[in-house]
Chains A and B, each alone.
Chain A
Amino acid sequence: AQSVSQHNHHVILSEAASLELGCNYSYGGTVNLFWYVQYPGQHLQLLLKYFSGDPLVKGIKGFEAEFIKSKFSFNLRKPSVQWSDTAEYFCALLGGGNKLTFGTGTQLKVEL
Chain B
Amino acid sequence: DGGITQSPKYLFRKEGQNVTLSCEQNLNHDAMYWYRQDPGQGLRLIYYSQIVNDFQKGDIAEGYSVSREKKESFPLTVTSAQKNPTAFYLCASNPTGTGPGGTQYFGPGTRLLVL
Chain A residues proximal to chain B, CB less than 8 Å: 6, 9, 30, 32, 34, 36, 43-46, 49, 51, 90, 92, 94, 97-105
Query: Chain A's interface: helix, strand, loop or mixed, by majority?
Result: strand
Bound CA span A44–B100, Å: 20
Q: In angstroms, how far is the closest chain B Cβ from the Cβ of A30?
A: 8
List residues of chain B with CB within 8 A of the CB of A101.
Answer: 45
B104 within 8 A of A: yes
Interface string of B82-106 (1 = CB under 8 A from A): 0000000010101011111111101
Q: Is B40 within 8 A of A98, CB to CB?
A: no
A52 to chain B, nearest CB (A): 9
B100 close to A32 (CB less than 8 A): yes
Binding site for A on B (CB under 8 A): 31, 33, 35, 40-45, 48, 50, 56, 58, 90, 92, 94, 96-104, 106-109
Closest residue on chain B to residue A32 by CB atoms: B100
Is B103 touching A34 in the complex (CB atoms < 8 A)?
yes
Distance from B107 Cβ to chain A, minimum over Cβ atoms (Å): 7
In the complex, what residues of A have CB within 8 A of residue B108's CB? 43
A98 contacts across to B, CB distance below 8 A = 31, 48, 50, 94, 96-100, 102
> Complex formed: what's the CA distance from A69 to B16 in Å?
48
Asked whether, in the complex, the Cβ of B40 is within 8 Å of the Cβ of A100, the reply is no
- Extra A-B contacts (18), CB below 8 Å, given A94-B100, A102-B35: A6-B42, A34-B103, A43-B107, A44-B43, A44-B90, A44-B92, A49-B103, A51-B101, A90-B43, A94-B102, A98-B48, A98-B94, A98-B97, A98-B99, A98-B102, A99-B45, A99-B58, A105-B42
Write the chain B residue with the least CB distance to A45.
Answer: B106
**In the complex, which residues of chain B have a beta carbon less than 8 angstroms from the beta carbon of A102?**
35, 42-44
Per the bound structure, the CA–CA distance linking A6 and B35 in Å amounts to: 18
User: Does B103 lie within 8 Å of A46, measured CB to CB?
Assistant: yes
Residue of B44, B106, B107 most packed against chain A (CB within 10 A): B106
B115 vs chain A, min Cβ distance (A): 24
B contact residues around A34 at 8 Å (CB): 103
